[in-house]
A and B are shown apart, each in its own frame.
Chain A
Amino acid sequence: MSLLRNLASGIRTLFRKEQVDRELDEELRVYQEMAAEEKVKDGLSRKEAFRAVRLERGNLEVTKEIIRSGAWESFFETCWQDLRFAVRILRKSPGFTAVAVLTLALGIGANTAIFTLLHASLWTPLPVSDPKEIFHLMRSSSEGDFAGESGYSYPLFQQFSKTAAPWGEVFATEVVRPRKFGFNGVSDRRIAGEAVSGNFFSVLNVGPILGRVIEPQDDSVLGGNHIAVLNYAFWNRRFQADASILGKTILYDETPYTVAGVTRPGFFGIEPGESVDVWVPATAVAADRGWHPDPNINWLRLLVRLDRGVDPAQAQAIFEGAFRAHVADVLLPSASPRFQQMLIAQHITVRPAASGLATTGREYEKPLLVLFAVVAVVLLISCANIANLILARNSARHHEITVRLALGASRARVAWQLFTENLTLSLFGAFAGVLLSVWGTRVLVSLLPPPPVPTAFNLQPDIVVFTFTAAVAVATAVLFGLGPALRASREKPEMSLQGGRRVIASAWSGRLLLAGQLALSLPLLVGAGLFVETLRNLKSSDLGFHPENVVTFDLSYPKGTSQDRLRQACAEIKQRLESHLGVIVASYGSGVYGDGGWDGSVDVIGNPSPGKDNDVGLISAGPGFFEAVGLGLLQGRYPTSEDQADKPPVAVVNESFARHYFGSTSAIGQRIKLGFEPQITREIIGVVRDAKHYGVRARVWRMVYLPTLKDDTFFVRSTLSMQLLSGAIRADVAASDKILQIEELQPLEAVVNDMISQERLTALLSSAFGVLACLIAAIGLYGVVAYGVSRRRNEFGIRMALGAQRGDIRTLVLRQTLAVILCGVAIGIGGSLAVVLLLSSAINGMLFGIKPTDISLFVGATIFLVAIALLAAFLPARRASRVDPMVALRYE
């Protein structure tokens, strides 16, 4: 009750300030007069009486101030006053304010941008009820996890559903992929499609806004219930929210499905950043592809909603048990020895998926976290820099501060006011930073390679982001502003009011901050060096083939197109393309980098002791394939178009294959049988160089290349520009066969570069921020040295008048600065080593061809930093040496 009254009274005071003030004034005046009257009665004059009262009872104005500040609401008033004062002060020195706000905006903006991306891709809960209960069942092995990848067959899903039934519900989804989509006989662009189990929507508790969603009983229809559910956003975009779409037929993956409903707005699936357009039942898709009962086809991702109170670790143990049983009973009996080993090494991990599967986010989690740390350090350096600026400024405002102290302001009051100024700076910086970050996040996302399904991250800064930024701003203000504010409030008024220029007492804190800045910059430089070197090594590492000047594209055609027709089309496209001047060779194959190709077992005829591991990578190669991708021949010959006709089947193998099976004897003429075509024996006609088909970091596999006369991926080596060549390709493909469509037309180098996009992102941003950090530190150094020089003009003038040479002055300034620089760099080297050693296990996976403790890198970074720092110190030192003694001495 009394609290309420207190609150009400306080608020009344705030809003009726004038009246309350007037009342207080009057009350105190009455008080004073009454007291004075007593004195007059005692025989004092009126004037003397008032003076006596002031002495005895205290000054009226001071009393008022005491009473006002005794109430809580005065705090807000003071803050508001300070804020207005701070803005006024800051406006008086626009240069300082601009530099400080800009530095802070860069630092805070970069932090906000990376936080936004991490938040959007990894930390935002799914828009479903109780997302915390949802877990991902990850099938993992020591080789790496299958996170987000399809790891389960339909029978295993059914098994798991039964296992979990008493305490949770398992649901399944297919990997989201671009699917062909058609409506009213018109085939459009591909859409993001996802096949889901019947309970998908009911478990997530996502309902329809129109019609119905996929329901559990849709799974039980023999051959699959061919219905489709549209995403609300897709329905709006593609069908302008037309309700009559219900019951109509669409083509999904070239199969007719009936539209059954539209999901409620806001639901996009379980993968942040991937907005699914159409959902269809997994049973229907499985029936279309004939996959349903096969336990060896892994195409589903499994998730589970655990009942409240179920321990995920316990659930994991039970799933693991069910998995082991399934492996032993169903999978092992028919598995190859190598596959058996893989199966035994696999386990089930139950991982929280409240934010969804976050495949994209997880892929970039490590680089983003590293960058997060980097930008945090950059912000720290900015803080040190601004603290230094403020220290210098405060000593220039020395007079103002001491006057305030002399007039009776308490030290706490002065410190708080100065801190408010710094807080204001920081808030301005944060505001500009948020604006910057909106742009920054877009740039960050655009640096990621385009995924198969367009990313749809929600990058609008939300309340969480704003809270983060505000917290950062306040923390920043405390870091750079509290120290200087407290320091300034400890001034001794008596000393400085005596007038004259005060010799700066000690620049220790400034030097310490400088050394700290340099020390912090060094690890950033070393880190940037590591990532840049990694990228360089990756780029320059020999892939075995030559992607330069090669353009690649995929052919797509309706299901059921006859093999003959395709063969004819491939031959015709090849011929047409090669007829252009500038095209060196055009060919096709199953792929050359990343995906493409398949794998299987091989049997080398006459091999007396086949090892356990006879798995090989397989790639089909059209005529001219090797010449087109630039895969060099070591022995024998390339296959030609005649090899496919009536001749005995042939194959080309790579170096590793030849070395493994034939050692020093020639592989040419040897015969092999492949597991997937047991009735065919092939003769090896050529050996090509080892190529890294599966990524520059992956190990080289033993490869078998099979001649083919038709395939989907084309490779065109030419001297033409991309633009010219793509025009020719479009024309030639259209002229060859109307049913063909071109997809993913791009330079082969782009495909290669996409595989190292993570490394490129890390290298680019870490070096940009590393350089930025050095720059900020250098500017700080320059500022402090220049300020010191300007304050010591007098001293330099005297020194020169007494016979010091210009060079001596320069050396003096440089020597004093060098001590700071070397001190900072020494700490920095130690710090970098510590960081690198501490994080080596985490960083190692991100590096390629370089050790984290690479000595030349440390030396390089140190030299770079010292050079920049010396340059920053040299400019003011030179100015110091140019001081004219006459002018300097007269100045005082």
Chain B
Amino acid sequence: MPDKTTDVIQGTLDMLVLKTLALEPMHGYGISVRIEQMSKGVFSPNAGSLFLAIQRLQRDGLIEGEWKASENNRRAKYYALTEKGRKRLNNETREWGRQAAAIARILEAS
């Protein structure tokens, strides 16, 4: 367990979920574990915010859910990126890179 977890920056959880699903379809717990792994334990979204984000993305048609058997034969709902979701992820990644670079430049300037 990491010593300190941080709340995900407002509005970026959706993007992180999309990124997670870009590799392969995944169920809710898998998404949460992968975000934790990829952020090296900095982000550990709780179930409430995670499923809220999933519900939001699903309603916007960016991801789709389907009940399937999991790796250890348990029924779970797997989410996959739609074409629209993939486009959105690309856009957001580009936009995020631009903004992060800008913010970094401001913070580094002294």
Contact = CB atoms under 8 A, between A and B. Distances in A.
A71 B55 contact: yes
Contacts of A222: none
A2 B63 CA distance: 12
A662 interface: no
Q: Tell me what chain B mostly uses at the interface: helix, strand, loop, or mixed.
A: helix
A5 B59 contact: yes
A56 B77 contact: no
B104 to A, nearest CB: 31
A30 B46 contact: no
B28 to A, nearest CB: 5
B47 interface: yes
A30 B60 contact: no
Interface in A27-44: 27-28, 30-35, 38
B77 A2 contact: no
Contacts of B51: 24, 27-28, 63, 67
A495 interface: no
Interface of B: 27-30, 32-33, 44, 46-49, 51-52, 55-56, 58-61, 70, 74-77
A66 interface: yes
Contact of B48 (A2, A34, A56, A67): A67
A62 B47 CA distance: 10
A27 to B, nearest CB: 5
Given A57-B46, A57-B47, 19 more contacts: A2-B59, A2-B61, A23-B77, A26-B75, A27-B76, A28-B28, A28-B47, A30-B75, A30-B77, A31-B28, A31-B29, A33-B74, A34-B27, A38-B33, A58-B47, A63-B46, A63-B47, A67-B48, A70-B56
Contacts of A24: 51
Interface string A630-655: 00000000000000000000000000
Interface of A: 1-2, 5-6, 9-10, 23-24, 26-28, 30-35, 38, 56-58, 60, 62-63, 66-67, 70-71
A67 B45 CA distance: 14
Contacts of A58: 46-48
B47 A30 contact: no
Nearest to A54: B47
Contact of A66 (B48, B58, B59, B61): B48
A67 B59 CA distance: 13
Given A60-B47, A63-B51, A66-B48, A2 B60 contact: yes
Nearest to B48: A66
A1 B61 contact: yes
A443 B56 CA distance: 57
A588 B58 CA distance: 92
B46 A9 contact: no
Contacts of A70: 52, 55-56
B77 A27 contact: yes
A67 B55 CA distance: 8
Nearest to B72: A37
B59 A9 contact: yes
Contacts of A2: 59-61
B52 A66 contact: yes
A33 B27 CA distance: 13
B6 to A, nearest CB: 14
Contacts of B77: 23, 26-27, 30
